[in-house]
Structure 1
């Protein structure tokens, strides 16, 4: 049986807006948008992996709140899971540090204004309830 690698992403919500990150690498993904996150390391829970990855990628301290229902296949052997998350009070404003060149806080009306990675589209749709009424 092949190993299943879990990639966790954060539906980081603030004031009814969802944080989107534009990829700058690798070249085949550059310019497209995603929910930020990364791989769960051996022995790490998805929640801890999300907090670590968001600190590494965005320089922000966050809290994983609740898992968004569903999981989505990435490349063979990889699966994407998403957690609703929030910035901790006093945390620095997220900034693109690794593999991203721009961040945007998107209102529900702006969600589809960016070119999401294919695998993130169903994850974003599943995360919309965390934006609140009207999302």
Structure 2
């Protein structure tokens, strides 16, 4: 089975859009809806494939710049999710992130995005691997 290693950024902000500590009451998380591929329309935390020689943090900075035109500071590691999709095995390394410089994300590859608080995390149709990340976020 094909193996893919990716990173995902769990971008956090307070209700006013300022960078936030992930465990702050009222913190919101940035979710994106895929606009392409086999899993089009599924919701995910943004990120992408790691390139040879990159650390997960370097890959995350690069991917979020490419997908959302933002600079981020990468924070605490959350979890690694291993998930078997029908055509490949996914290993996804997940980190908290904050947008640097106060820029608003631009959707360059996604069709929609939403800021979700903890109570709203189940209001979108997550891709299967991302459900594991949601579970980790619910635990705080």
TM over 0.5: yes
CA contact (8 A) 2:5 2:90 kept: yes
Which deviations, in whole Å up to 9, do the C-alpha atoms of 1:8-64 show, x marking residues without a partner?
0011110100000001101x3111100000011000000010011001000111011
Shift of 1:3: 8.1
Compute the RMSD of aligned alpha carbons. Answer: 1.8
CA contact (8 A) 1:8 1:46 kept: yes
Query: Which of 52, 62, 78 does residue 52 from structure 1 map onto?
Result: 62
SS of 2:119 mapped into structure 1: coil
TM-score by length of 1: 0.84
Q: Does residue 119 of the first structure (1) align with residue 118 of the second (2)?
A: no
Q: Does residue 87 of the first structure (1) align with residue 115 of the second (2)?
A: no
Report what 1:23 is aligned to.
34
The 1:77/1:116 distance shift into structure 2, 3 A limit, reads closer
TM-score by length of 2: 0.82
Unaligned runs of 5+ in 2: 15-26
Report what 1:63 is aligned to.
73
The 1:126/1:118 distance shift into structure 2, 3 A limit, reads same
Q: Which structure's residues are more often strand, by fraction?
A: 2
Unaligned runs of 5+ in 1: 131-135
Query: Counterparts in 2 of 1:24-43, with a 5 A limit?
Result: 24-26=35-37, 28-43=38-53
Find the aligned partners of 1:125 and 1:31 in 2 and give their Cα distance. Answer: 21
Shift of 1:92: 1.8
Segment drifting more, 112-121 vs 71-80: 71-80
Q: What is the number of equivalent residue pairs in this alignment? A: 126
CA contact (8 A) 1:11 1:127 kept: no
